[in-house]
Chains A and B, each alone.
Chain A
Amino acid sequence: MKTVALHYSFEFLAGMRNRTLLLMNYLMPLGFYALVGTMMAQINPFFGDQMIPAMVAFAILSGTIMGLPTPLIESREGGILRSFRVHGFSAAPLLAMPAITTAVHTGLVAAVITLTAPMLFDAPAPTDPWTFVLITALLAFALSGLGSLIGVVSAGSKVAILWQQLIYLPSMILGGLMIPVEILPDAFARVAHLLPATYGMQAFLGGAFGMESLYSPAAAAGVLFAGGIAAFGLALYLFSWDDKNGGRRGHPALAALALLPYAIGAIFLVS
């Protein structure tokens, strides 16, 4: 237990000491929130209705998809994981600790957004706060799973950027953060449903804000949970301690299976 507490406290502090993580966890989401809150409400008056879920989803995307993979890759390339291994650490805490601390960092940002947006931008607050917290946690779980998986299977930081952008940009554009999914053409709507952020937005709107959603918020939450389990399970299975020792248990292409729950959701939930 003491090891877990010490490991967690170090990871949490590292998130504050590391400028890149500080940027991804705090500065980018809060800066974007301030910018979007000021501008988007004037451009699109209806944006205010979903400002809180959209900005919370953006904060989680930044912290997990953009922030999690690089430190993991650098740890593998720099021999840090090898050092932890010879001291008897197992792979699970090395994957879980950064994910948990990132979730806490983004949770703090989500709290700031949720508490200030109603006052600053007249955005509606969640009608069901506990469901809002639960969905925030589920979205963080699903996306941190994908972030960890990208870090595990990417051969280097440059490759990771490609995978990160493949999740991050479509999530921003198609995931319902800026444009409602229901106005997208059918093909785009289905592509959007391969991304966790889309399910997160639907769960937020239908489950925590009392608005209309495309399908049951519980179903969306179920897809996020299954997606998180699949991503973390695959990350653990495909985890390798170093680049030199070819000890990976499966082919990195297996990581694509992490999208299976979302693909099933896209088939059965999107009419």
Chain B
Amino acid sequence: MEELAIEVRGLRKTYDDFVAVDGIDFEVRRGEIFGLLGPNGAGKTTTLECLEGLRDADEGEMLVGGVDPGSNRKKLYRGIGVQLQSGSLPGYMTVREALRLFGAHRGVTPDPGIPARLGLAEHMDTQYAALSTGQKRRTDLALAILHRPGVLFLDEPTAGLDVSTRIALHGIIEELRESGTTVILSTHDMAEAEELADRVAILIRGRIAAIGSPRDLTATGHGMTRISARTTGASLGCGAFADFRPEGEYFVGFTTTPGPAVMRIMDHISRAGDTLVDLRVERPSLEERFLEMVRDESA
């Protein structure tokens, strides 16, 4: 049986009359990257903050690393790392001071490789208030991972980051997973979730609308797979396939059965004595599936 890092049963949280989280259940396996996706106000941050011990749930049971976040926060915070979406540090604290203070509190010596990889090496003596938004988020992240936590919560970790830092961050997250850290990733960036997450849960109006691997979720939608083909000749033109249309040098079509469709195209090209130059099969993205689900829920 796989070891669970997080167990949530019937989690419910309301703010006056507004139901932010409406009795959700999910599990996260140890060493997994688990994405929490949803539109604004779907309950992602409330869910995360209940798991992080920042909010008390109205109903339900939660275990994070075997600890109930509502009743044993001291033990909880020893085992988790958190990068808050709305967190901050004292404006007059330098990056170096923050790493030393939080490292000492955690009982670890900060690994100098972490600030270097997050592009903070040149800003170690800069005060937090003088850092750019991206540098602040990287500092928050460096603090969250400096003690190699068992469970890492990341709330919009790459918001405001440039491409190279983002790639470096993805590398660090994957390394953490390799070393056994469980990562809970809340993000609006579907491409990021699709690239990093082993499984995702899509939250809509406080309920889990879908849960599974990005591949499984995209496969269950009514989205069509896009097939683009380019040949040296014109075998795909002249109405060879009714559902294919020219787009620049390519012929592009959409299908729900990509396997047979590709076979059919290849066979046709071969019979026509034509030569295939390029063939692209693009399944529906998680973003398309996500938008589809949001539309369905709103309808």
Contact = CB atoms under 8 A, between A and B. Distances in A.
Interface of A: 2-3, 6-7, 10, 13-14, 17-18, 71, 75, 78-80, 82-83, 85-90, 241-242, 245, 247
Contacts of B101: 3, 6-7, 10
Interface of A is mostly: helix
A6 B84 contact: no
A90 to B, nearest CB: 8
A20 to B, nearest CB: 11
Contacts of A13: 92
Given A3-B105, A6-B101, A7-B101, A86 B54 contact: yes
Given A88-B106, A89-B105, A245 B55 contact: yes
Interface in B39-59: 49, 52-56
Nearest to A1: B104
Interface in B51-93: 52-56, 74, 77-78, 80, 82, 84, 86-90, 92-93
18 contacts: A2-B104, A3-B104, A10-B90, A10-B93, A13-B92, A14-B90, A18-B92, A82-B87, A83-B84, A85-B54, A86-B52, A86-B53, A88-B74, A88-B106, A90-B74, A241-B54, A245-B49, A245-B54
Interface of B: 49, 52-56, 74, 77-78, 80, 82, 84, 86-90, 92-93, 97, 100-102, 104-106, 127, 140, 143
B84 A247 contact: no
Contacts of B84: 79, 82-83, 86
A17 B92 contact: yes
A247 B105 CA distance: 24
Given A6-B97, A79-B87, A88 B52 contact: no
Contacts of B55: 245, 247
Task: In the A-B complex, list the 6 residue pairs whose CB atoms are closest, starting with the nearest.
Answer: A88-B77, A86-B82, A83-B87, A17-B92, A3-B104, A79-B88
B106 A80 contact: no
Nearest to B49: A245
Given A10-B97, A85-B54, A86-B52, A80 B104 contact: no
A244 to B, nearest CB: 9
A6 B77 contact: no
Contacts of B90: 10, 14, 71, 75, 80
Given A6-B97, A17-B127, A86 B104 contact: no
A18 B90 CA distance: 11
A71 B91 CA distance: 10
B78 A80 contact: no
A14 B77 contact: no
Contacts of B104: 2-3, 6
A87 B86 contact: no
A87 B92 contact: no
A153 B140 CA distance: 28
A18 B52 CA distance: 31
Nearest to B75: A88
